[in-house]
Structure formats: structure tokens, C-alpha cells
Structure 1
Amino acid sequence: MQRIILLIIGWLAMGLATIGVILPLLPTTPFLLLAAWCFARSSPRFHDWLLYRSVFGRYLRHWQQHRALPPGTKGRMIVFTLLTFAVSLWLVKIAWVRLLLLCLLAGLIVFMVRLPVVDDEQQKR
């Protein structure tokens, strides 16, 4: 029964992570990590698929090895986040929603800036 629950949670997390790639307010990484954790404990087949055959596999393998982002990823994340929030701020006309979006943006940027990045020398080890 526990295996089935973990599989369901894992696939729900994968779905949310996939949606999070498109929607700026839904984070992708925590859902990917949750899916990897669930699949590691419930289905080696799905865990291998996630790590070696999915679009997200490279980033998950890199995180497992180094506990850091690959070089260049942090900059792309920040730019994409700024662009998507800029569109949201442009479309939204309600002042308190704009303020909320700006607060969320500030929190996300602070979080992203603090994420570690592995350098080329560490990556070779």
C-alpha cells in the first residue's frame, strides 16, 4: 500500500513540476526532488526513467552528485523568472496583486542567488 501511495505522490509531483516549467509561480525543482524521492522508494524503474530518460534527468543527476547547480543554470533561471514576472506585472492591473507579485519575485530571486553552483574544477572530480 505504501508503494502505491508513493507512486501516486511521485507522479503528481512530476505533473506539478512539468506545469511549473510554464507557470512562474509554481516551482519546478521541489516537485522534481519529491518525485525522485518517491520513485527511489517505490519504483526503481520510474526512478531510472526520471534520472536517465526524462528532460529533467541531467539536472537531477547533477544535483545528486554535487548538491549544486550546473554552471550557467542560475543565470538562465533568474532571467527567465524576471521575464515571466515582468509579463505578469504588465498584465495585472490590481495594485495589491502587483505588490504581492513583487514580493514573491524578491523572495525567489534571493532564494536563487543563494543556490550553490559547482565550478568546472569541482565538476571534474
Structure 2
Amino acid sequence: MAMLKGRTGFRILAYISAGLGVIGIALPLLPTTPFVILAAFFASKGSPAFAHWLEQHPRFGPAIAEWRLRKAIPRKAKVLAFAMMGFSWSTLAWLGSPGFVLVISGVFLAGVACYMLTRPSY
């Protein structure tokens, strides 16, 4: 019974992640690639058929394969992520957020950017 609950939980997380990834195609503030990679991970634990579908998908499959093989992030995804992080931080500053919010968010965003810069691109 515990195995069934775990698989069901992973399956639900896979569908939620995939849904967020699909929404991210239309909404520029929501990234697609990380959610698709996350969906593939969860699907591999809870729904092999869904995992296979994601891996074979013409749009999502290459990103999943590149991440698994080389931990690579698409160049377009990096550029969009950097632009959105800059836009988000600038919006916080423009709206007059307190200094500690700007520092904490800036450190977090800089950390994410540094991590992304250390990943290969394709």
C-alpha cells in the first residue's frame, strides 16, 4: 500500500509540474524547461508511460535528454531566465521594496544565475 501511495504522489507531482511547464509556454514569467525536467523526474518514479511520453515529445524530449546527459540548459531558456530575473528584481526596486527584500532577492537571483552560468548550453 505504501508503494501505491508513493507512486500516486509522484504521478500527481509529475502532472502538476508538466502543467506548469505547459503554462510557461504562454506566460513569459513562468519557466518551461525546469518544470518539464521536474515532471520527467517525477514521472519516472510514478508513471513510466507518462515519462516515456515526455521523453519522446518533440518539444520537451530534447531538454530532458540534454539535462540527463550533460546537465545542459537551452541557451534560449538561459537568456529568458536572466531577463526575467533582471526584470523581477528591477520591478521590486521600482516599487520601493525594502532594502532587505532587495538584498535577499538579489542574492537568491544571483545564485540562480551563477548556477545557470555553470551549466553547459545547447
TM-score normalised to the size of structure 2? 0.66
2:90 is matched by which residue type in structure 1?
A
How far 1:8 moved relative to its partner? 1.7
2:63 pairs, out of 59, 63, 78, with 59
Distance in 2 of aligned mates of 1:32 and 1:66: 16
Find the counterpart in structure 2 of residue 89 from structure 1: 93
Q: Is 2:16 the counterpart of 1:12?
A: yes
Structure 2 regions of 5+ residues with no counterpart? none
Q: Offset at 1:7?
A: 0.7
The 5 Å alignment of 1:1-125 reads 1=4, 2-15=6-19, 17=21, 22-23=29-30, 29=34, 31-53=35-57, 55-71=59-75, 73-117=77-121
Secondary structure in 2 matching 1:22: coil
Q: Which runs of 5+ in 1 are unaligned?
A: 119-125
Please report the RMSD computed on the Cα atoms of aligned residues, expressed in angstroms: 3.2
Cα–Cα, structure 1 residues 67 and 105, in superposed 2: closer, same or farther, change >3 Å? closer
Instruction: For residue 35 of structure 1, give the secondary structure of its aligned residue in structure 2.
Output: helix
Deviation at 1:42, TM superposition (A): 2.5
Deviation of 1:103 (Å): 1.5
TM-score (norm 1): 0.64
TM-superposition CA deviations, 1:55-88 (whole Å, max 9, x none): 5433112223433234554344323322232223
Shift of 1:99: 1.8
Superposition deviation, residue 16 in structure 1: 5.2
CA distance 1:16–1:75, change in 2 (3 Å)? closer
| Cα distance change on mapping 1:52 and 1:84 into 2, 3 Å | farther
Aligned length: 115
Q: What amino acid sits opposite 2:15 in the alignment? A: W
